[in-house]
Every structure is written in structure tokens, then in C-alpha cells.
Amino acid sequence: MKIKKVVCAPGKTGFFFDDQKAIKAGAKNDGAFYEGKPLTPGFKAVRQAGESISVMFILENGAIAHGDCAAVQYSGAGGRDPLFLAADFIPVIEKEIAPLYEGKEITSFREMADLVDKKISANGKKYHTAIRYGVTQACLDAVAKSQSKLMAEVIAEEYGTTISKTMIPIFSQSGDDRYLNADKMIMKQAEVLPHALFNHVETKVGLKGEKIKEYIEWLRERIIKFRPTENYKPTIHIDVYGTLGLVFNNDFEAIAKYIGEVAEVAKPFHLRVEGPVDMGEREAQIEALAAIRSAMEREGIEAEIVADEWCNTLEDIIAFSEKKAGHMAQIKTPDLGGINNAIEAVLYCKQHGMGAYLGGTCNETNRSAEVCANIAMATSPVQYLAKPGMGVDEGYMIVYNEMSRILALTK
């Protein structure tokens, strides 16, 4: 079966593009907006509406395969590609990417994904991660439709995996509404929660980290009070966006000790802390997370730290894993470009003793979340992110229901 035509449609995402540099520099919330001047190139405001591009392959039999190009909330930060705006990149897809597929036979997913993911553009670089992300989703869907299979089945067959017999634990994120949204997570029995967006020292973390401890104590008691049964024992996973490095002046021993203290507050629930420091470049970040993990292990601290910033590509994930830079790596799916890289990243982590967190961003779409749910069911990471959005209900519903459908159809 051949691909007759490639069609693009501009879209919206489930959240926003946020200028992380400006926020860390002190930009203040005003409702849903942020006040202040943007500091990252390409931004016209500290926060602006998220955009996507839906890439549709019209197949010979009239079926339509599609995927959504999307970039992370904090585009342009931590070594990532620049801001992704539909008007800028639809012409690129139509002029440079569409000819790679139009009139061509549908072969294997891996072969079709490589056409865009490994191609070098006219400026000597790979195409924007968001383009590769969405187009490879459409490739996977095209192969699945041409073979009358689920996307998860195509992945399992091509990568030699087995589709999970159970749901992958879902990690739900709260955004700034970390109290009300935590209640929603407890009600829905999210197995990992609440993210909590601790991205500002003075207002959210506390000058000595005291605000995080206060929140974790509240959350622990909230879970115990309202959990449906005592068997509900979620993992508490918070993202601190490098702020512990600011609080403790990048003293890795002190950071490890503090995480241990928070872990005691969280008991009986297990604690994960994402992004404890942001060292500004990859090698320093690897050294820092390896040092914090080593200090935690020496002290017998049972909590985990999660690599996020500067751990963006498949190559980055391999490098962090080799140096034991963290206990878990977030595979932030849009940052890896083609979804083929996300699949390989999960499998690499599992083979090399690094926890695989198949993540992404609140700034994705329902389509990218569904495609990634197929990746999760085919590769069995430790956890999968509820996305898009920060409202809990919608993102949790999308990924739960897609995994549930796969589970029912493959039993």
C-alpha cells in the first residue's frame, strides 16, 4: 500500500509554551499569564499558546494515518530546539518532508521513521524535534493501518518485545494547582503523583526547602485520609526544576541529605525527585546527578532522583545511564525527535539498570498521547505520563483509556 498524499493542519496543544529562563529570573504569575519580558529567543511573551501540526498521510485505500508535531512546554531551554510555531514549520513539512513519503510504498515502521528522523536538512542539521516527532507518529499509524494491527503490535513485532498484560503506572501532573489537583489524582488512584511544579525558590520551594516539606506532609496525610483502600500506595514524584541546586548552592551532599529528609516525611510512600539541579550543560549535569545518587546510596536513602534537564536525546539518555546519573531518566518524548528514539530509549534504560520514565510534556496533544500509550504498552516502562494538560482529568483519561483499549484487544 502506498501513501498518496501528505496533508498538514495547524493545531493547538493541551497547554502553553513557557519561557523557563524568564520564569527562573522572577517573572510573576498574573492569572494564567506571566508578567515580564521574555528572555528566550523566539518568545513574544513569557507564556504563549502552545501550537501543534497534525500530519496526515492519505493512504491508497482511503484510510488516513496521522500524528501530531508538538514541542515541550519549556521550548528553547536546557539545550532544546527553539520555539515551534505552526506557521513557521508547515511550509517545511510540505516542501521538504512530504516528498519523502508521497507516492512511496509503506514498508516497516523503522525504515519509514528513519526517512525523516535521520535526514539532514538544507542547513546541515536534523529537522526540528517536533517535526520528527509528529511525522514518525504518522509513519507508525500508516504501518498499523496497512497491516490491520494496533500500533503497539507493530512496535512489539519490530522490536521483539511483548505487549504488557497490565496497565503501565500513570504519572499525573498537577501544574501550580497542586492541592486541588492532588485530590483528583487520589480519587482516580493515579499510581504516581503529583509533579507539583516546584519551579521557583522563594514562592514554592522555600529558601531552605521548607515549603516542599510542608506540601509533602500535607499530601501524605491527604492520601491516607481519602484513599479508597489501604492497598493504594502511590509513588510521590515531584519535579523541582533544578531549584535544590539554588537552595543548597550545588552542594551535592547537602542535596542528598535534604532528599533523605523529604523521603522520611513522605513515608509510607516512596519518593522520587526530578531535576534536583540544573548545571547549565550536559557533562556537568551528569557529574552532579551521579554525585547525588552516590551520596544517597552511601547514606542508605531509599528515594530516587530523576534526570530531566540536559537529558534530552537518545544519546543523552545513554550517557546519563552509563554514568548512573540518577536512578531514572525521563524520556521526554518530543525532545527525542522520532518516536523510534523513544522506543529505543525505554529499551536501553531497561537493559542498563536505569528506570525508564516514558514522559513528555503537558504541551502535547491527545493524538501524541495516544501514540505514546502504544509505545508504553509495547515496551513496559516504569511509568507513563498522563498528558496533555495540567488539569489531571483530561490527560489521565486519554492515556488510561488508550492503554485500556490495547489491553482489552490484546488479551
Q: Which pLDDT score is estimated for 329? A: 98
Calculate what percentage of the chain has a pLDDT beyond 90. 92
Quick one: DSSP state of residue 386?
-
Q: Which residue did the predictor score with more confidence, 61 or 25?
A: 61
In what side-by-side order are the strands of the sheet with 64-69? Answer: 3-18, 47-59, 64-69
SS3 287: helix
The single residue of 204, 332, 387, 411 carrying the catalytic annotation is 332
pLDDT at residue number 23 = 86
Which has the minimum average pLDDT: 8-22, 71-85, 180-194, 367-381? 71-85
Indicate the pLDDT class of residue 12, thresholds 50, 70 and 90: very high
C-beta separation of 273 from 303 below 8 A: yes
118 is catalytic: no
Instruction: Report the alpha-carbon angle 404-410-411, nearest 5.
Output: 90
| Cell numbers given for 407 | 489491553
For residues 358 and 347, what is the distance between their CA atoms, to the nearest angstrom? 11
Output phi, psi for 331, to 5 deg. -90, 90
Residues 6+ apart with CB under 8 A from 131: 53, 69, 89, 92, 93, 97, 116
Q: What's residue 115's pLDDT? A: 97
Q: Residues forming the annotated binding site?
A: 173, 239, 274, 308, 330
Give the CB-side neighbour count of residue 359, counting CA atoms within 13 A.
31
d(CA 369, CA 193): 18
Positions of E strands within 60-185: 64-69, 170-171
Express as a percent the part of the chain with pLDDT over 70. Answer: 100
What is d(CA 388, CA 68) in angstroms, rounded to the nearest whole number? Answer: 12
Burial class (CB in 10 A: 0-12, 13-18, 19+), 228: exposed
Mean predicted lDDT score pLDDT of the chain: 96
Does the structure show a pLDDT above 70 at 330? Answer: yes
| 86 sits in which H/E element | helix 86-92
pLDDT band at 321 (very low <50, low <70, confident <90, very high): very high
Binding site for (2S,3S)-3-methyl-L-aspartate, residues?
Answer: 173, 330
Residue 172: is it exposed, middle or buried by C-beta count within 10 angstroms (0-12/13-18/19+)? buried
**Through-space distance between the first and last CA atoms of the chain, rounded to whole angstroms:** 28
Point out the annotated binding site for Mg(2+).
239, 274, 308
How far from 295 is each of 32, 88, 236, 292, CA to CA, in Å?
Answer: 39, 46, 21, 5
Read off the pLDDT of each residue in 146-152 and give the average, rounded to a whole number.
98
Distance CA 17, CA 20 (A): 9
Mean pLDDT of 205-229: 97
Cell of 197: 511544579
Report pTM: 0.96
> Where do the H-state alpha helices sit in 160-270?
180-188, 210-226, 243-247, 252-266
Give 35's pLDDT tier (boundaries 50, 70, 90): very high
Mean pLDDT confidence for 356-369? 97
Range from 111-115, 195-199, 271-275 carrying the lowest mean pLDDT: 195-199
- Sorted by sequence, the CB contacts under 8 Å of residue 57 that are 6+ apart come out as 3, 5, 6, 64, 65, 66, 101, 138, 139, 141, 142
Burial class (CB in 10 A: 0-12, 13-18, 19+), 62: exposed
β 28-30/33-35 pair status: antiparallel
Q: Are 398 and 366 in contact (CB under 8 A)?
A: yes
What pLDDT is recorded for position 123? 83
Per-residue cell: 106:
509503506
Residue 133 CA to residue 335 CA, distance in Å, equals 8
Average pLDDT over residues 72-87: 86
| Residue 346, C-alpha cell as written in the block | 525505554
CB 311 within 8 A of CB 329: yes
Residue 411 and residue 407: Cα distance in Å, rounded? 6
Q: Which domains does the chain have, with CATH numbers?
A: 2-159 (3.30.390.10), 170-410 (3.20.20.120)
pLDDT tier at 78 (50, 70, 90 boundaries)? Answer: low
Size (the chain), residues: 411
Model confidence over 272-298: pLDDT tens digits? 999 999 999 999 999 999 999 999 999
Mean pLDDT confidence for 230-235: 96
